[in-house]
Homo-oligomer: A and B are copies of this chain.
Amino acid sequence: MTSDSTTTISELRQIIADFVAERDWSQFHSPKNVSMALAIEAAELMEHFQWLSTEGSRKLANDPQKLADVGEELADVIGYSFALANELGIDVSSAIRAKMVKNVAKYPADQFRGRYSREDDGNSVHSP
């Protein structure tokens, strides 16, 4: 039983909205600025995996401290994502459901099983 199974998107969006409102920060939260903040946090998240091999990066889950650090960066990324949704009035659940319908059509399961592209012959990815 995790917190995610009982927490709605709106509840988390509200936490972000309250934080911004209490500091009168909406003036800084133009969509342009928030999109920059989001990209910067995504880079900070990526930094944790920068010098690891692709397979080595899976082992990070076994290190509680590193996992907590990554969780914090991920929280920043999702937090700014919700901040942007708040500023622009985007319903996140609808946007994700609509995009996944497109993705299902673009990547039919029977044609893309085990392949990330039509050109993928499996060599480049499975090599170390």
Binding site for B on A (CB under 8 A): 2-13, 15-16, 19, 22-25, 27-28, 30-33, 35-40, 42-61, 67, 70-72, 74-79, 81, 84-85, 87-100, 102-104, 107, 109, 112-114, 116-117, 120, 123-128
**Are A113 and B23 in contact, CB atoms less than 8 angstroms apart?**
yes
**Are B72 and A99 in contact, CB atoms less than 8 angstroms apart?**
yes
Q: Which residues of B contact A60 (CB under 8 A)?
A: 31, 88
CB of A54 to closest CB in B, whole Å: 4
**Contact A6/B3 with A23-B112, A96-B78 known, Cβ cut-off 8 Å:** no
Partner of A96, one of B2, B79, B84: B79
Q: Which residues of B contact A78 (CB under 8 A)?
A: 78, 81, 92, 96
Partner of A128, one of B25, B55, B74, B103: B55
